[in-house]
Amino acid sequence: MTSAPRTLSRRAFAGIAAKGAAAAALLPTLSLGAGQALAADATIKVGILHSLSGTMAISETTLKDVMLMLIEQQNAKGGLLGKKLEAVVVDPASNWPLFAEKAKDLLEAQKVAAVFGCWTSVSRKSVLPVFEQDDGILFYPVQYEGEESSRNVFYTGAAPNQQAVPAVDYLMNEEGVERWVLAGTDYVYPRTTNKILEAYLKLKGVGADDIMINYTPFGQSDWQTIVSEIKKFGSAGKKTAVVSTINGDANVPFYKELANQGVKATDIPVVAFSVGEEELAGLDTKPLVGHLAAWNYFMSVDTPENAAFIKAWHKFIKNDKRVTNDPMEAHYIGFNMWVKAVEKAGTIDHDAVIDAMIGVSVPNLTGGYATMMPNHHITKPVLIGEIQGNGQINTVWETPGLVVGDEWSDYLEGSKDLIADWRKPMNCGNFNVKSGKCGGV
């Protein structure tokens, strides 16, 4: 009895759905007129490869929205090469192998002109072979550990020398820090960054027993022991600071524990590389005032470009409480660079655009210019900011000029002799200046 109507309704539904799909398929052809049979050619497709579900959704959904906004703005300006841009959004669901599958789908089935996406280094490493095989273009907007340069990837986030190293310099020179805690989540970005920082600190004459390295699992929520260890480490009579590569979410309980155990920024400042306005939005920041963050952009930066960007963002997302952050600026820069390179090349052909990208220069949101360098990294200012009681970060120091992203760290054995240069005739991502050969060794 009960199963009959169910089947019926399912069938009825399928029928409606099929009709709907047919109508939807007909619509574009109708609206464009009979002459244009190939509707797809009228638009340029832009792939957006950010997780909309799973653990990384918290960070990546915002980047998807900012890309939709940028594409909408570009279309309002008349599109690109006389065509409208069309966003193709896929959801790799914070699942690293799925990133590669979705990338393949975007490049081979959808034939997108460029892809903007990925957050974690492991997702980037997962899609890298796909982009190299299909000769696609990926814009990667997040600060990362370096030690990579691919012809098919444009790194618009910070390399370690554009974030970690200047932050350590700041603490050393301005706060007089002599003792260092390097605390991070246990995965590739913190481990590589800490390796670089450790080498850098030792080069600066910091002794091995003045460096404490600590790793915690993803999503760590019990920080009691670690914070009390930091307190103990900080009581050796030398000014101590914490350099934190703790990943997104786990920061909230970490800072809560710091505040509750009474570790103040004036005693032991914490400088974080993964804490931005978005992470602070889930937190009462009053006890955190004075802790530091190192980025290339803060929402509080007072420039007309930034004010316009924030205004457009609030209008687009229909919520004027939403914050902006550094990876959003990286997408803003990357997208504008790509538009400029396509206009320069006059085509969306991947090879032509990749060649046209180098040397493209667009305004950033902090009042300067970002230029794409031959190693596929960009120039950025480095800002050190202090967390404020209202969840914003105010700049307290910035590099006097722009810093060029250095993909192969100068402080690591095995990578200090490498350079990347994707211009002809070198055309190599890991050229060894000592042996004069491409290929790392």
Partner 1 sequence: MLRILLLAFLLCFGLSAETRADGFDDGLHLLGGKFDDVERGVVILAGSGDQRAGAVLAALQDNRLMVVAGDPPSFFIRQADDSLLDAATLQPAGDAAAGAKAVRVNNRIRRAAEAALGTLNLSSPNAAIRRQAADAVFKARDGEALPALEAALAKERDPDVKAVMETARAAIFLANGQGDEAQRLQAVETIGRRGDPDALAMLRNLANDTSASIREAAAASVSSIEMRQSMLARVQDAIYGISLGSVLLLAAIGLAITFGVMGVINMAHGEMVMLGAYTTYVVQTLFVTYLPDAANWSLIAAVPAAFVVGGLAGVILERTVIRFLYGRPLETLLATFGISLILQQAVRSIFGPTNREVTSPSWMSGSFDILDGLTLTSGRLVIIIFCLAVFLGLLAFIRYSRFGLEMRAVTQNRRMAASMGIRTGLVDALTFGLGSGIAGIAGVALSQIDNVSPNLGQGYIIDSFLVVVFGGVGNLWGTLTGAMAIGIANKLLEPFTGAVLGKIILLVLVILFIQKRPRGLFALKGRAIEA
Residues at the contact surface with partner 1, assessed by CB under 8 A:
52-55, 57-58, 61-62, 174-175, 186, 214-217, 219-222, 224-226, 228-229, 231-232, 234-237, 249, 252-253, 256-257, 259-262, 265-267, 269, 278, 281-284, 287, 289-290, 386, 388-389, 394, 396
As to burial, measured by CB atoms within 10 angstroms (0-12 exposed, 13-18 middle, 19+ buried), residue 436 is: exposed
Q: Which of residues 152 and 240 has its CB atom nearest to partner 1 in the complex?
A: 240
Q: Is the peptide bond before 425 cis (omega within 30 degrees of 0)?
A: yes
Nearer to partner 1, 347 or 392 (CB): 392
DSSP 3-state assignment of 214? Answer: strand
Cα–Cα separations (whole angstroms), residue 417 to 151, 248, 373:
19, 33, 18
CA 178 to chain centre: 30
- The least distance separating partner 1 from the CB of residue 58, rounded to whole angstroms, comes to 5
User: Rounded to the nearest whole angstrom, what is the least distance from the CB of residue 296 to partner 1 in the complex?
Assistant: 19
Longest Cα–Cα distance of the chain, Å, equals 82
Q: How far is the CB of 215 from partner 1 (least distance, A)?
A: 6
Which lies closer to partner 1 via its Cβ, residue 54 or residue 79?
54
Structure-token pair, residue 276 = 């931005």
Cβ proximity to partner 1, 61 vs 73, nearer residue: 61
Do residues 435 and 441 lie in contact, with contact meaning Cβ atoms separated by under 8 Å?
yes
Q: Quote the crossing angle between the two packed helices 96-104 and 121-134, to the nearest 10°.
A: 30
Query: Structure tokens of 165?
Result: 């190293």
Instruction: Specify the residue, 234 or 405, whose C-beta has the smaller distance to partner 1.
Output: 234
Minimal distance in Å, beta carbon 433 to partner 1?
37
DSSP H/E element including 89: strand 84-90
Give 45 or 231: the residue with its C-beta nearer to partner 1. 231
Q: Which one, 133 or 173, has the nearer CB to partner 1?
A: 173
44 or 118: CB nearest partner 1: 118
| Closest to 326 (Cα-Cα) out of 168, 156, 72 | 156
b (16+ CB within 10 A) / e for 206-244: beeebbbbbbbeeebeebeebbeebbebbeeeebbbbbb
Beta bridge partners of 117: 49
Task: Indicate the residue among 245 and 375 with the shorter CB distance to partner 1.
Answer: 245
**CB 396, min distance to partner 1, A:** 4
Alpha carbons 191 and 198: distance in angstroms, whole number: 10
Are 72 and 86 in contact by the 8 Å Cβ rule? The answer is: no
Q: In the bound complex, what is the minimum distance in angstroms from residue 86's beta carbon to partner 1?
A: 24
CB of 400 to partner 1, least distance (A): 14
Shortest separation between residue 5's beta carbon and partner 1, angstroms: 19
DSSP characters over 348-370: --HHHHHHHHTT-EEE-TTSSEE
Q: What minimum distance in Å lies between the beta carbon of 371 and partner 1?
A: 29
Which residues face 398 on adjacent strands? 383
